[in-house]
Amino acid sequence: MNSPQIVSIRPPKIEEVVSAPNPYLEILQKQKDAFIERGIPSVQQRIDTLNTMGKMFSDNSDDIIAAVQADFGHRSSVETVASEVLGVLSEIRATKGKIKKWAKPLKPKGGLPGGRMFFQPKGVIGIMGAWNYPVQLVISPLIGVLAAGNHAMIKPPDVTPRTSDILQSLFAKHFDADYITVITGEVETAVQFSELPFDHMVYTGNTEIGRRVMMAAAKNLTPVTLELGGKSPVIIDDSFPVAKAIKRLIPGKSMNAGQTCIAPDYVLINKDRVAEFVKDFERLATKRYPTLVDNENITWIVNERHHKRLLDIIEDARAKGAEIHQVNPQHESIPEGSRMIPLTVITNVSDDMRCMQEEIFGPVLPVKGVNSTEEALNYLKGRPRPLALYYFDSNRKRSEEVMRTTISGGACVNDAMLHIANMNMPFGGSGESGLGHYHGYDGFLEFSHKKSIQFSSPRFSPSSFMAGPYPKRTYGFLKRVVKFLG
């Protein structure tokens, strides 16, 4: 016989499960100890935390906006306020009033009487955010983490250091470090952070780094939520007016200079309508941005590396025979040192071009001509599952069939990006575009442990029927039941 496995009756210390020295082990151990000592926070304590955090963001909004603007060099102030401040405050308000309802134990439908399902916090959760929305993509998952009663360690992106610094300062001022703490630093810090044995980890960013985070988490059996990206396609059926589709696409493609994980990435449209698409796109984009230089509504690419990457993608397409259509109504010269890229449509594309292989993450939109919507759908189904799908069609029944037969993280019919604004729906990816969901109730579920409990009466238990020796005829009876059920 094999020797019985010896199981420790105490939780292991962190240094027992992490072999390499890690400067953040002590912080995590203090958070885990505090979580045990303080116990599960009440609903009112969680609401109080969210109220404190909401006031913190409201009172310091000017400093937060200034930090984000400085990190980007030039960013639309309207977009910054809307996404980094109002978006966060709206989600806090939408969440805090529902925690009491969400946290109530549930009764299973059917089965033995006395069953209950309790929602308990997982413990200490690590959050790694992305630079394109350096506040929102840290705080949005944090809201769900805190609503579920957890503690949190946060690693903001290194690409936006000023924003990271102000987040660290604000949380240190308003919360105990053994409850919520912010760790800043560059790539090495991010690697060390991902290797910590959290009770759950959230990562938002690109797919390749997501793989590394998941491998690091696997060593500690840490469950992960991965919000990644990919190439979110647009399919325009012949029945839908091209200009109307473009009018609804441009805000999603131009907001934050296209540096959004669910921004429309490329368009599939009938090849006979490509010229019409280009003409209408240039006309409608000109209305949005009649000038480029000194336009306060235009956001720059976040840094030189990403700026060069996008320019290289455009030049790669040009060198391989694509046509480049940049929307520059006044034919202005882009000042040297500016990281502005005008809205750009690329036509006559082929799959060997970088613009059709890599996630664009910028104001560049490849347009691929197809023979039919069916061909477009087959093209989509043969590629990695996108984070979002945008389908335009005047036929409701056909649209519903497309939604039923395609797989993506989320989708919009006859619009773009609006699905993320509904806090009553989950947000997440599928396959290479992500794992797990958050937002609203789904965030509460994602960061909770759903514990099943069976309560039995002191006077009677169904297990009493199993107490004595099995009757001789039991096996035959069970075999007849198997046959009946089969």
Structure tokens at 425: 């729906």
Tell me how far apart the alpha carbons of residues 69 and 58 are, in angstroms, rounded to a whole number.
Answer: 17
Tell me which CATH homologous superfamily contains domain 233-421. Answer: Aldehyde Dehydrogenase; Chain A, domain 2 (3.40.309.10)
Report residue 4's pLDDT band, with 50, 70 and 90 as the boundaries: very low
What is residue 477's predicted lDDT score, i.e. its pLDDT? 84
Domain assignments of the chain as residue spans, ordered by start: 14-228+437-449, 233-421
User: Of all residues in the chain, what percent carry a pLDDT higher than 70?
Assistant: 94
CATH of domain 14-228+437-449: 3.40.605.10
Measured distance CA(112)–CA(114) in Å, rounded: 6
Average pLDDT along the chain: 92
Q: What is the pLDDT of residue 7?
A: 40
Using H for helix, E for strand and C for coil, what is the string for 247-303?
HHHHHHHHHHHHCCCCCCCEEEEEHHHHHHHHHHHHHHHHHHCCCCCCCCCCCCCCC
Residue whose structure tokens are 């890690």: 22
Tell me what the mean pLDDT of segment 135-153 comes to.
97
| Structure-block tokens of residue 469 | 């020796």
Please tell me the predicted confidence (pLDDT) of residue 95.
96
Q: Containing H/E element for 346? A: strand 344-347
445-456: average pLDDT: 91
Instruction: Please check the confidence at residue 17 and state whether its pLDDT lies above 60.
Output: no
Collect all residues with Cβ–Cβ distance below 8 Å to 61 and sequence separation of at least 6: 81, 85
Catalytic residue annotation: 227, 261
Using an 8 Å Cβ cutoff, are 277 and 267 in contact? yes
CA distance 359 to 310: 10
Q: What angle do CA 120, 203, 363 make, to 5 degrees?
A: 135
- What residue ranges in 54-138 does DSSP mark as E strands? 115-121, 124-128
Instruction: Give the mean model confidence (pLDDT) for residues 266-275.
Output: 98
Other CB atoms closer than 10 Å to residue 375's CB: what's the count? 14
Q: Mean pLDDT over residues 81-101, rounded? A: 95
Q: How far apart are CA 402 and CA 396, in angstroms?
A: 10
Whether 389 has a pLDDT exceeding 80, the answer reads: yes
pLDDT in tens, 161-180: 999 999 999 999 999 999 99
